[in-house]
Structure 1
Amino acid sequence: MSGIGPVEPGDGTQARDTAPPLPRGPQLGPLSALYGRHRRAALATLTTAAVLAGTGYLYATRPEQPAPVPPPYPSQVTVISYLKPQATPPGTEKRNFRFTAELSVESGPPVTVTRISQPYEGLSVISSPRTPFRTKAGAHRKIMITLRVTECGKVPGSAGLPFLDVTLRNTRAIQVHSFILGSRYAQDLSQALQVACSNDSG
């Protein structure tokens, strides 16, 4: 040999990797590795919770409070019944028909009667007590109603199925409800109309 060069591996030998190992970071023990994994999981959970709280989804799993039950409509709990006609005192104008009815409120908040009317154009209505008046649940109130014939040509000779239109109000709603007072009321009213208009040509 005339010079110095790399030594060739001989037969049956292998070249060794003489490069130095790359530097490595500090080795973590098992407890340190466990802490790191748990820390990452905890941070991920907190981040998710914050995102859900901002979008409102966090509260989706909470049970919702039931909505309060609204009070009943006034027409559902108010009853008006026909009781009897009132005797006409001597000297009283025959064009007036007076009768007693009873109003009761079955449940819920108090009901106020703001108006009482009827369908015939030739009749006017006056009540005692005068409207508006209020009745509490469980109470029964007697009402004196006077129907006055103002024009015989606009009232029927026989009232087939008369009713009262009553405007009711409570905390839920204002309603106009038609109360049919029954066949006895129809008979008494028809008789009163015939007497009131018997000498009237219309």
Structure 2
Amino acid sequence: MSGVGPVEPGEGTRVRTVPLAHRPQRGFPPRNFERHRRAALGTLLTSAVLAGSGYLYLTRPRPRPQPPPPDPPYPSQATAVDYLKPQATDVRTDPRSFSFDVATSLESGPPVTVTRISQPYAGLSVTSSPRTPFRTKAGATRRVTITMQVTECGKVPRNAGLPFLDVTLRNTRAIEDHSFILGSRYAQDLSQALQVACSNDFG
């Protein structure tokens, strides 16, 4: 017989018929497609949540940084020196030595240390009680006794017009040499003391 036709099963063989329900259908996804689809959707949702969280983190209102603390004032800006009064002295004992009181006070800032007290006249030496260095704290006032000794009358003025004290001050910010003008009352008392100390030299 010629021609092409279905192959007849041989003797002793059987043809297996696959039920339609178990045959793989072409063009349809396999059984595990739904599982892969759910995993993919979960990954996309996770990525979306992470992206949203990152956006919210980047666009969140950030707290303003605290400004740095202000620098402490220079010691001369916070320290005051006020003339109080001259001390009673016995001119018969030491006519060339005289004393007076000042008050040092600190308005604000860190403590200020007075490291040196002097004056501009070459013929006078200066000591203080308490001795330098001494410290003054903010809000406190310290009473200081200044003693001047005339060492050479030719180098002191007959009348001190505008005398001042040279004071070296130190705090955590700076060390400064500052001249404090103590006013007209101090000028009068100093001139009178110099007249007494150097009366013979002044004539």
TM-score of the superposed pair, with normalisation by structure 2? 0.69
1:128 is displaced (CA, Å) by 0.3
Matched AA of 2:111? P
- 2:20 is matched with which residue? none
1:187 is displaced (CA, Å) by 0.4
Question: How many pairs were matched up?
Answer: 172
Matched AA of 1:125? V
Matched AA of 1:118? Q
Report if aligned partners of 2:162, 2:181 keep a CA contact under 8 Å in 1. yes
Matches within 5 A, 1:72-91: 72-89=73-90, 91=92
Matched AA of 2:200? N
Matched AA of 2:122? E
Matched AA of 2:103? E
- 2:131 is matched with which residue? 130
What is the SS of the residue equivalent to 1:195? helix
CA-based RMSD of the aligned residues comes to: 3.5
- 1:17 is matched with which residue? none
Matched AA of 1:88? T
- 2:147 is matched with which residue? 146
Matched AA of 2:64? P
Taking a change above 3 Å as real, the CA distance of residues 103 and 122 of structure 1, as seen in their structure-2 partners, is same
1:89 is displaced (CA, Å) by 2.6
Unaligned runs of 5+ in 1: 1-28, 47-60
CA distance in 1, matches of 2:171, 2:197: 37
- 2:170 is matched with which residue? 169
- 1:155 is matched with which residue? 156
Can you list the C-alpha shifts for 1:87-145, whole angstroms capped at 9, x where unaligned? 11363211112101111111111110000000011110000000000111111111110
Report if aligned partners of 2:125, 2:150 keep a CA contact under 8 Å in 1. yes
Taking a change above 3 Å as real, the CA distance of residues 91 and 198 of structure 1, as seen in their structure-2 partners, is closer
1:84 is displaced (CA, Å) by 0.5
TM-score of the superposed pair, with normalisation by structure 1? 0.70
- 1:71 is matched with which residue? 72
Report if aligned partners of 2:195, 2:202 keep a CA contact under 8 Å in 1. no
Matched AA of 1:116? I
- 2:112 is matched with which residue? 111
Can you list the C-alpha shifts for 1:36-72, whole angstroms capped at 9, x where unaligned? 8x969x89xx8xxxxxxxxxxxxxx773331111111
CA distance in 1, matches of 2:102, 2:202: 31
CA distance in 2, matches of 1:39, 1:146: 84
What is the SS of the residue equivalent to 2:64? coil
Q: Could you tell me the percent identity over the aligned residues?
A: 70
Taking a change above 3 Å as real, the CA distance of residues 88 and 62 of structure 1, as seen in their structure-2 partners, is same
Taking a change above 3 Å as real, the CA distance of residues 195 and 91 of structure 1, as seen in their structure-2 partners, is closer
What is the SS of the residue equivalent to 1:100? strand
Report if aligned partners of 2:98, 2:147 keep a CA contact under 8 Å in 1. yes
